[in-house]
Amino acid sequence: MKTEFDYVIVGGGAAGCVLAARLAAESGGSVALLERGQRDTNRWIHIPATFFKALQGRDSDAVVSEPDGSLGGKPFPVPQGKVLGGGSSVNGMIYMRGQHQDYDDWADVHGCTGWAYKDVLPVFRRQEANTRIDNEYHGQNGKLVVDDPSAAHPIGYKVIEATISAGVTRTDDFNGAKQEGAGWYQVTAHDGQRQSAAHCFLKPEVDRENLTVLTGYLACRLRIEDRRAVAVEARDINGKEVVIRANREIILTAGSFHSPKLLMLSGIGPRDEMERHGVEIVHEAEEVGQNYQDHVGAPVTRRLAKATGLHGADRGLAALKHGIDYFAFGKGLLTSNLLQAGACVDTSGSGRPDVQYNFAPFAPGGPGEAPLGYHAMQIHPMTMRPKSRGRLGLRSKDPSEAPKFYSNILAEEEDMDTLRRGVRLARKIYEQPELKDIIGNEVWPGPDIGSKVGSNRLDDAIREQARTIFHPAGTCRMGPTPSAVVDLELRVNGIEGLRVADCSVMPALVSGNTNAPTMMIADRAADFILSADL
């Protein structure tokens, strides 16, 4: 096997697929893409409605926090894609970029000039092949197909109208002039096929002679000589050690857990963390692994009394019917991403939405539990700009071990208060006439849990129910000073020939789903790299 390339990209998730495809197509250099998981051959990945099966199978694993005091001592598990395409191959396919102000804050508050909304919007537009919208906010000539949801569920219509009755405006575009409103999401699913980064960006370029995709390869550490990253030490699927050299650059796109872990294993990180595990210090960088943040939610759940949700749709005759509809006719439930509708709402009066709601005609159990065994629905409030911050460290020098993870996910009172407001509005939506005729008893928080201001029992219920929204970010923070992990062109401070280009570089989490922003970050990294080579 060839073991020397111009560019070595570590992590074949959403960012890695975008970056590898562009460098292979445009740089003229040789590119290696390393992914610890397998190829995206699992059928559950590509059928939109079966994403939950992909999340529960071989193509995903979870990083579990230490006991979290902000959750009453419970751990906080965060599943991650472990497959080509990463999160874009196992997520719920909601296409949301975040608010204009998020990116303007990156520039104005965090000093990341060149990352304001006016700078990133052209990248979003050039990536997008939107099937409906063509205007100053959307493109139709890119590779990422963005569509309206298929097989819209009747409960979706009802909950959107109920939300509007509760005082929320209507929207038909969460990524347009403003984010606020209730309506149907746009999604990265089209004609019954998930539109992952692997499918849209990597697949068209995968047969290029200058692109090598290595799956089943675990990156163990970076080899650094004279303060320059020159190679990746890895193990293949059989455990054989291999050194893969990079003549130009190494780019980490392994996500908010594994990119900082690899830096620390390579001697780039906080001094005390590396000394504790006997890692030779190459460059002291105190912020590596710091600034962890994630969206967190608590789904307000009601039984369905006079309507049918999705309970049992994956079993027996119902599953057979859906399979026939999909495989024979290319239609029906399996073409749907299931999470079709939602809302972004300003519950605090700040002038910006601070709670995102997912609406769904099904309901999960508690964190880590099986779905409910009856027809139910959820209105799921989630924090949009969390204030709580966690951190990562090393568990050991063994690269196969997950990092040590301190989530602190509801440590800040402001985040708890955001979820309180979210629960109150969700309950108000359920009481609107559009839903009152189809809902039954409240499952969570439950009829005995009040949501008035000062309700300690509600706080306890939120801590018990709190769960990740699968958007970890921030652990290799970008910034304008040498104390940041990466500079404004995503180069690791203090080390030559090394960048990080995934959602770990976000100085602050965007207000919404992270798949689209992660692909945007990778595309900008390609711009920086290609410009540097001129």
Give CA 169 to chain center in angstroms.
26
Helix, strand, or coil (residue 286): coil
Query: Between 306 and 224, where is the model more confident?
Result: 224
End-to-end alpha-carbon separation of the chain, Å?
Answer: 29
Q: How confident is the model at residue 534 (pLDDT cuts 50, 70, 90)?
A: low
The confidence score (pLDDT) of residue 105 equals 98
The confidence score (pLDDT) of residue 52 equals 87
- Is 395 part of a structural domain of the chain? yes
- Final residue of a domain: which of 465, 488, 504? 465
Per annotation, catalytic residue among 100, 295, 375, 471: 471
* Cβ–Cβ < 8 Å for 310, 438: no
CA 99 – CA 105 distance, rounded (Å):
10
Q: Which CATH number belongs to the domain containing residue 241 in this structure?
A: 3.50.50.60
Q: How confident is the model at residue 55 (pLDDT cuts 50, 70, 90)?
A: confident
**302 shares its domain with 420:** yes
pLDDT greater than 90 at residue 366: no
**96 shares its domain with 211:** yes
DSSP states along 155-196: HHHHHHHHHHHTTPPB-S-TTSS---EEEEPPBSEETTEE--
What's the burial of 21, exposed, middle or buried (CB within 10 Å: 0-12/13-18/19+)? buried
Closest alpha carbon to 407 in 63, 62, 81, 66: 66
- Is 205 part of a structural domain of the chain? yes
pLDDT greater than 90 at residue 370: no
* Cβ–Cβ < 8 Å for 71, 317: no
From residue 494, alpha-carbon distances to 284, 393, 481 in Å are 9, 20, 11
Residue matched to tokens 């939300």: 163
**108 shares its domain with 6:** yes
| pLDDT (tens digit per residue) in 208-256 | 999 999 999 999 999 999 999 999 999 999 999 999 999 999 999 999 9
pLDDT greater than 80 at residue 93: yes
Backbone angles phi, psi at 213, to 5 degrees: -105, 120
**241 shares its domain with 305:** no
**48 shares its domain with 20:** yes
Q: Which CATH number belongs to the domain containing residue 326 in this structure?
A: 3.30.410.40
**303 shares its domain with 435:** yes
CA 270 – CA 483 distance, rounded (Å):
11
CA 527 – CA 7 distance, rounded (Å):
14
Domain that residue 98 falls in = 1-114+195-295+390-406+472-534
Give the residue-averaged pLDDT of 18-40. Answer: 97
CA 499 – CA 357 distance, rounded (Å):
34
Domain count, the chain: 2
| pLDDT (tens digit per residue) in 376-422 | 999 999 999 999 999 999 999 999 999 999 999 999 999 999 999 99
**448 shares its domain with 320:** yes
pLDDT greater than 80 at residue 90: yes
Q: Running DSSP on this structure, what letter comes out for residue 198?
A: I
* Cβ–Cβ < 8 Å for 283, 495: yes
| pLDDT (tens digit per residue) in 319-355 | 999 999 999 999 999 999 999 999 999 999 999 999 9
Active site (annotated) includes residue 471: yes
Neighbouring residues of 505: CB distance < 8 A, sequence distance ≥ 6: 476, 477, 478, 485, 486, 490, 521
CA 275 – CA 150 distance, rounded (Å):
53
Does a cis peptide bond (omega within 30 degrees of 0) precede residue 445? yes
pLDDT greater than 90 at residue 359: yes
CA 475 – CA 78 distance, rounded (Å):
14
- Joined tokens for residue 376: 């139910």
**200 shares its domain with 291:** yes
**96 shares its domain with 202:** yes
Residue matched to tokens 């919404």: 512
**501 shares its domain with 514:** yes
Closest alpha carbon to 38 in 13, 1, 18, 62: 13
The average confidence (pLDDT) of the chain is 96
- Is 190 part of a structural domain of the chain? no
Percent of the chain with pLDDT over 90: 94
- Is 3 part of a structural domain of the chain? yes
CA 361 – CA 27 distance, rounded (Å):
46
Q: For residue 436, count other CB atoms closer than 10 A to its CB.
A: 11
- Is 512 part of a structural domain of the chain? yes
- Final residue of a domain: which of 446, 465, 484? 465
**167 shares its domain with 282:** no
The number of C-alpha atoms within 13 Å of 306 and in the hemisphere containing its C-beta is 7
- Is 129 part of a structural domain of the chain? no
SS3 annotation, 341-389: EEEEECCCCCCCCCEEEEEECCCCCCCCCCCCCCCEEEEEEEECCCCCC
- Is 123 part of a structural domain of the chain? no
CA 33 – CA 20 distance, rounded (Å):
7
**329 shares its domain with 231:** no
Give CA 31 to chain center in angstroms.
25
Give the residue-averaged pLDDT of 152-173. Answer: 97
- Final residue of a domain: which of 450, 465, 480? 465
Closest alpha carbon to 102 in 175, 183, 16: 175
* Cβ–Cβ < 8 Å for 470, 90: no
- Is 50 part of a structural domain of the chain? yes
CA 94 – CA 533 distance, rounded (Å):
35
